[in-house]
């Protein structure tokens, strides 16, 4: 979450895109992969898809969401993206990408898993209250009590002291912070998954600390939640 935000005056290097050899015939259609650098440009330019009036940056999210929920109302996602992009504007990840690429990637993970619109809306906003001047009251006013509740739960999870690895008390604290709503933990786990995927830009000691908490606390908790 906010551990990735850095001052734009000193961004880290942008890792090169992964490449691979073409698969032998018969060839299967590969699922499109999110291009964070292209997303960053789209986020900053604010371009839109004319046919839907949606920002291009959330195109991957919309496609994945429509695959599971073809009749979903996309307006909350559009408004959540606009608020998240404007509030995180100027913040950068250590990789050098605009910070908005992180909530976008977290939301894409959840969309591909079939999460409903309310969860995706909260996911786009999950770092705003902690890392920007957006308040919970503003989230509630614009998106309703349910989204406010989910964003509040994710924010509270960031304040949990993980303590000794995998202790029952740690699990209890985390479940209390989520209000026993599995959607809060789903956002947190997707957040950690994306951070683990982009861990290479961190210092070695920070990589080890984040990976240890993931292994000893979050993975066992995810298994307990099924």
Please say if 75 is a catalytic residue: no
Q: How many CA atoms lie within 13 A of 158 on its CB side?
A: 17
| DSSP reduced 3-state for 68 | helix
Q: How far apart are CA 49 and CA 171, in angstroms?
A: 43
Evaluate the CA torsion angle 137, 44, 47, 34 in order and state its sign.
negative
Give yes or no: 127 in active site. no
Q: Of 56, 116, 130, 146, which is the active-site residue?
A: 130
Q: What are the DSSP calls for 107-149, one per residue?
A: HHHHHHTT--HHHHHHHHTTTHHHHSS--HHHHHHHH-HHHHH
Alpha carbon distance 19, 110 (integer Å) = 25
Residue 1 DSSP code: -
| 85, 131, 152, 191: the active-site residue | 131
Joined tokens for residue 44: 């900053």
Alpha helices, H only, the chain: 36-45, 59-68, 75-88, 101-112, 117-124, 128-131, 136-143, 145-157, 168-178, 182-197, 204-213, 219-225
The values of phi and psi at residue 206, to 5°, are: -75, -40
Active-site residue list: 130-131
């Amino acid at each position: 979450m906010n551990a990735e935000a850095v001052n734009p005056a000193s961004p880290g290097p942008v890792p090169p895109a992964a490449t691979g050899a073409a698969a032998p015939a018969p060839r299967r259609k590969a699922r499109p992969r999110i291009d964070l650098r292209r997303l960053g440009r789209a986020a900053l330019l604010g371009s839109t898809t004319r046919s839907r009036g949606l920002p291009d940056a959330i195109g991957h999210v919309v496609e994945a969401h429509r695959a599971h929920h073809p009749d979903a109302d996309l307006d909350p996602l559009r408004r959540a993206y606009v608020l998240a992009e404007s509030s995180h504007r100027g913040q950068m990840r250590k990789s050098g990408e605009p910070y908005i690429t992180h909530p976008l990637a977290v939301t894409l993970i959840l969309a591909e898993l079939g999460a409903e619109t309310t969860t995706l809306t909260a996911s786009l906003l999950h770092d705003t209250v902690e890392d920007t001047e957006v308040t919970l009251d503003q989230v509630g006013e614009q998106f309703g009590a349910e989204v406010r509740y989910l964003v509040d739960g994710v924010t509270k999870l960031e304040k949990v002291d993980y303590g000794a690895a995998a202790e029952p008390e740690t699990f209890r604290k985390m479940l209390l912070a989520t209000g026993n709503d599995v959607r809060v933990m789903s956002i947190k786990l997707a957040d950690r998954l994306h951070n683990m995927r982009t861990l290479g830009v961190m210092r070695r000691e920070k990589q080890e600390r984040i990976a240890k908490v993931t292994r000893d606390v979050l993975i066992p908790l995810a298994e307990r939640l099924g």
